[in-house]
Amino acid sequence: MLVVLLTAIPPSAAAAAPQGTIVVLGGGHDDPTLALLAGLLPSRTAAIEILTTATAHDPARTHAAYARVLHKLGCPHVGHLQVDEDHPADAPATLARLRAATLVFLTGGDQERLTERLLGTEFLEVLRRRCQHEAGFVLAGTSAGASALGSQMLVAGRGWRSLLAGGIEVIPALGILPNLLIDQHFVERARYPRLLHAVLAHPHLLGLGLSEETGILFRPGHLPEVFGDEVVVLVDGRHLTATTYAGREVGKPIGGQGFTLSLLVAGDTFAMSHEP
């Protein structure tokens, strides 16, 4: 097992380690992760909510697919937590269900739908507080649902053009995992260039590239641990020695020296300064 010790996060950016458990997955086939999540529950009868906000097309079908798998795993209480154009995040019934859930699972789709519907809401504050202070609470996200949990998130950038000034777009995410910038479907969609560019633009953040069927388990009292079939790429730009990023003309190549890059597989862990 590989343990990566990362450079210290500035004290002003560090936050107390969450007491809840957080799981991020790079997309693809989610069934093995659902089995992992079921195993984290204090009881298989605990309340589970599937949050389909990121899923624009037929979210009811998406919920039903996850519910079928979870039912087979012995979890009978799988609700559909709808927050969208017709279901406001701060509706009293929605907040009550959020407070009662032991596991909340964020589906894939478009991560901007999550930030558009959740930023500035009481719903998000409740979710943050539960992650921070409740040891039995579990929050998980796959694909777009994983990307939205960091401090910032990538919403544009493809191929070699991602290494040109102006070739990506990074916007604020939900901030549940501070100091992180998470990308997904990483190897499968050749997203190395855009994550490097994003870290060059935000060198105080650690970039995580999650391959499909691969993710990271954040548990209180433990180092973050990789699970799954493929690779997690860590990009650390906090000790860059040179960069041409600032003031670069749009369309011109960007450059940076001093990145630290790690490739992690199942069982590998990494330590950050705000963790014990």
Average pLDDT over residues 188-216: 96
* Interstrand relation of 138-142 and 21-25 (parallel, antiparallel or unpaired): parallel
**Token representation of residue 197:** 């560019």
pTM: 0.92
- 3-10+18-271 — its CATH code? 3.40.50.880
Query: What does the alpha-carbon distance between residue 200 and residue 206 come to, in Å, rounded to a whole number?
Result: 10
Q: Which helix (H) or strand (E) holds 256?
A: strand 256-257
Helix H, strand E, coil C: the string for 15-38 is CCCCCCEEEEECCCCCHHHHHHHH
**Token representation of residue 57:** 């097309």
pLDDT reported for residue 70: 98
pLDDT reported for residue 10: 45
For the chain, the domains span: 3-10+18-271
Query: What does the alpha-carbon distance between residue 3 and residue 212 come to, in Å, rounded to a whole number?
Result: 22
Q: Coil, strand or helix: which one is 67?
A: helix
pLDDT reported for residue 273: 57
pLDDT at 173 over 90: yes
pLDDT reported for residue 116: 97
Residue 69, φ and ψ in degrees, nearest 5: -65, -45
Buried b (16+ CB within 10 A) or exposed e, 200-238: bbebebbbbbbbbbbbbbbbeeebbbbbbebbbbbbbbb
Write the pLDDT tens digit of every residue in 135-146.
Answer: 999 999 999 999
Write the pLDDT tens digit of every residue in 175-201.
Answer: 999 999 999 999 999 999 999 999 999
**Token representation of residue 19:** 């007491």
Higher pLDDT, 130 or 157: 130
Residue 90, φ and ψ in degrees, nearest 5: -95, 15
pLDDT at 6 over 80: no
pLDDT reported for residue 191: 95
Q: Which helix (H) or strand (E) holds 263?
A: strand 260-264
Contacts of 72 (CB under 8 A, 6+ apart): none
pLDDT reported for residue 12: 39
Write the pLDDT tens digit of every residue in 229-254.
Answer: 999 999 999 999 998 888 889 999 99
pLDDT reported for residue 247: 81
pLDDT reported for residue 274: 39
Q: Residue 160 has what DSSP assignment?
A: G
Residue 264, CA atoms < 13 Å, CB-side half-sphere: 31
Write the pLDDT tens digit of every residue in 23-39.
Answer: 999 999 999 999 999 99
**Token representation of residue 233:** 């790429």
